[in-house]
Amino acid sequence: MKIDKIKKIINIKLYIARKILVNNQMTKEIRIRYKLNFEKNFITKNIEPNSNYDVLERQEIKQKIIKKINLFENDIHSRQFVIQQQYIDNKELPACISCIQFLIRNNKIKAFFFVRSQNFDNNFDYDNQSYMIWTKQIADYFKIKIQSIEVIVSSLHRIL
């Protein structure tokens, strides 16, 4: 996997690589934990989604954030919320971006993204841009700073 491509936007905390067979195709898979560096030019970059599902998911999570913002406004003791995303066409299955948590402390937001599965070539840039967009959405609403965006990907993979 070309780590040079992603070093510009992330600070890697954990990197474990292995080769596995997926659907009879040799695949390189890594488990990775990183902090995402918020960059204004990356958030506005035109990154093509892999599928319409990615576009729908981005919009659905934006809408969920709008609804959840009320938790921040109406419960000063909470200052956090979690979104557990499911596939749009099958609500019984967790989506690839399976869990998102936002915390506000001292007028700064921390975001945590837990990703079950991600294809490096098809989704990595688009998904990282989505994490920035969603975190900025909350930061802009409350006029606060972004403290950190942390991501854990259980299976970041590339077909060999």
In a domain, 110, yes or no: yes
Query: pTM for the whole thing?
Result: 0.84
Mean pLDDT throughout 117-129?
A: 89
In a domain, 19, yes or no: no
Condensed to tens digits (0 to 9), the pLDDT of residues 33-90 reads 888 888 888 889 999 999 898 999 899 999 999 888 877 776 666 677 888 887 777 7
Give the range of the structural domain holding residue 98, as residue numbers without chain letter.
33-153
**What's the rounded Cα separation, in Å, for the pair 90 and 158?**
25
In a domain, 67, yes or no: yes
Query: Can you give the pLDDT at residue 97?
Result: 86
In a domain, 9, yes or no: no
Buried b (16+ CB within 10 A) or exposed e, 8-36: ebbeeeeeeeeeeeeeeeebebbebebeb
Domain count across the chain = 1
In a domain, 40, yes or no: yes
Query: Can you give the pLDDT at residue 67?
Result: 87
Condensed to tens digits (0 to 9), the pLDDT of residues 16-26 reads 677 877 778 88
In a domain, 42, yes or no: yes
Residue of 49, 12, 53 whose CA lies nearest to 123: 49
Condensed to tens digits (0 to 9), the pLDDT of residues 87-112 reads 777 777 777 888 999 998 888 999 99
In a domain, 28, yes or no: no
Amino acid letter, 91: K
